């Protein structure tokens, strides 16, 4: 699943996950990817949405040796496959060429990467699980990453274990960036104003009685509770009988 949060003019949020196993280890694999907003969209209303796992586009590939790979389109598009993009995001602009792809490769599998639209698009990959990935002769070990030439069409070749890669690409917005703590603006004065705004409004405040509220039990399954009270439940219980 993907949680997409547009901070915009300000929001207070917390990331919490239920204990699926109350008396055992609870393993979590999470990527938090920050995507900047153009100056004209910095103060748009905050927005939250869920991109559920089963609605996320996936593209399978079988190489010349019969080994399989799968690309998941977390953001942007791949060929004719595109994910739903929230409003007021740099990812909604076609010229941004945003791509967040998860590529899962069987051991020794090959996956051909298409080129980015032009050399003005930045592209990097991160090998986060498995052994390594060979990128046209350059070995990138698990736990490390590499910057790719955007207009190249390299073939990724997995090492001796099943391997997972995150590929990130996008065109720079081309505006100055000022950042302090969780605030990202264009100037130092705007950062100072963000602090003033937070002290004055608390960005809407924190409506829960505790800093770490529990919105449901592990037995409840996946759900998303929105600010307006609406609850999304992608796994509704099956009626008995």
pTM above 0.95?
A: no
Vertex 219 angle, CA 16 and 228, to 5° = 55
| pLDDT digits 0-9 by tens, 66-101 | 999 999 999 999 999 999 888 889 998 889 999 999
The answer to whether the CB of 61 falls within 8 A of the CB of 69 is: yes
- Using the Cα atoms of residue 146, residue 89, residue 73 and residue 164 in order, give the sign of their dihedral: positive
Inter-CA distances, 218 with 17, 22, 92, 231, Å: 9, 9, 34, 16
Residue with tokens 């239920």: 18
**pLDDT tens per residue across span 175-223:** 999 999 889 999 999 999 999 999 999 998 888 888 877 776 667 778 8
The predicted structure's pLDDT at residue 134: 96
Average pLDDT, the chain: 91
């Amino acid at each position: 699943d993907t949680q997409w949060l547009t901070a915009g003019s300000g929001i207070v949020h917390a990331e919490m996950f239920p204990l699926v196993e109350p008396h055992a280890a609870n393993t979590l694999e999470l990527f938090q990817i920050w995507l900047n907003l153009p100056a004209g969209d910095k103060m748009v209303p905050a927005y939250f949405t869920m991109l559920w796992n089963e609605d996320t586009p996936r593209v399978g590939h079988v190489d010349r040796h019969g080994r399989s790979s799968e690309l998941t389109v977390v953001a942007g598009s791949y060929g004719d496959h595109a994910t739903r993009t929230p409003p007021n995001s740099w990812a909604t602009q076609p010229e941004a060429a945003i791509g967040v792809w998860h590529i899962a490769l069987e051991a020794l599998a090959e996956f051909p990467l298409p080129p980015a639209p032009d050399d003005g698009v930045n592209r990097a990959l991160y090998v986060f699980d498995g052994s390594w990935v060979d990128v046209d002769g350059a070995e990138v070990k698990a736990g490390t990453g590499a910057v790719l030439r955007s207009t190249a069409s390299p073939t990724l070749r997995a090492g001796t274990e099943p391997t997972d890669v995150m590929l990130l690409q996008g065109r720079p917005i081309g505006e100055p960036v000022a950042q302090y703590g969780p605030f990202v603006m264009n100037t130092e004065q705007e950062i100072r104003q963000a602090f003033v705004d937070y002290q004055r409004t608390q960005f809407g405040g924190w409506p829960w009685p505790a800093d770490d509220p529990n919105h449901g039990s592990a037995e409840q399954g996946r759900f998303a509770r929105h600010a307006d009270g609406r609850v999304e439940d992608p796994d509704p219980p099956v009626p008995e009988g």
